[in-house]
Structure 1
Amino acid sequence: MSYYITIHHGSGVDESPENLWVNVCFTVKDHFYLRTDGALICFILERIREKKFKLTSEPWDRQHRWCISIPVSKMHKTKDGAAADALNLAEWYRVQILNGNATINRELLFDRKPFYEEWWAPDP
């Protein structure tokens, strides 16, 4: 489950060591438009649909700010399969946010400005 997304009631998303992670990163230019949870999750969905993410074996959001990682439950041979799996989970997150059952901790996500680019995840 993403480090910055909190599910208030019910179970969250199970993680496995076998998971791949879809990492969606944000820039300073994006930050102005991401003032609400709804805007942020819609931006994440858009990035996944456009396949503008990095697929890794470890989540980047545990070590970096300005990045949200979404687990992909299966090993996929192509980026398209991982994108479809991540898109389904991001849609579920969107519904949870719209129903008031989840929040994104934007203050922690964007708590520091990325002055030193090497400290932050690269743009996809």
Structure 2
Amino acid sequence: MPRSIFSYIHPAGSFGLPEFKDSRCALCGNLDMDCSCTECEHPVAVDGGEQRCGVRGCLEHLLDRELLARIEILDARLENLRQEAARRETPTLPCPECGEVQTVTIYNNGPYLCHGYFYAGDRHGWIRKGRY
């Protein structure tokens, strides 16, 4: 489906937005309209004759070594993203009552509570619950 600068261009008579959740390429993960995969050249039998598969991002005819290479690339990307998430973790200031330091992660960005205090970030620190 072609896109304009500001929105998607829909064919005449179509209303509403297209359903995107099932329109992703199984191999590259991009939306079908942005898929960078080539068409599968694997021969298949169709009506007694032989044709090429022609599916973009075909997993069925992907060679084992290509599948393994794709898995290793994605594992490396995922590990790099997890390392970046761990790098972005920051400790809170110590709780004014017990001195406990909590870790602010991207998975759990708050609220942080301890002994009736709410952590409002480095700028404001711990604030007594009900005084903010």
Under TM normalisation by the shorter chain, which class is it? Answer: under 0.3
Larger C-alpha radius of gyration, 1 or 2?
Answer: 2
TM-score by length of 2: 0.22
Q: Which of the pair is proportionally richer in helix?
A: 1
TM-score by length of 1: 0.23
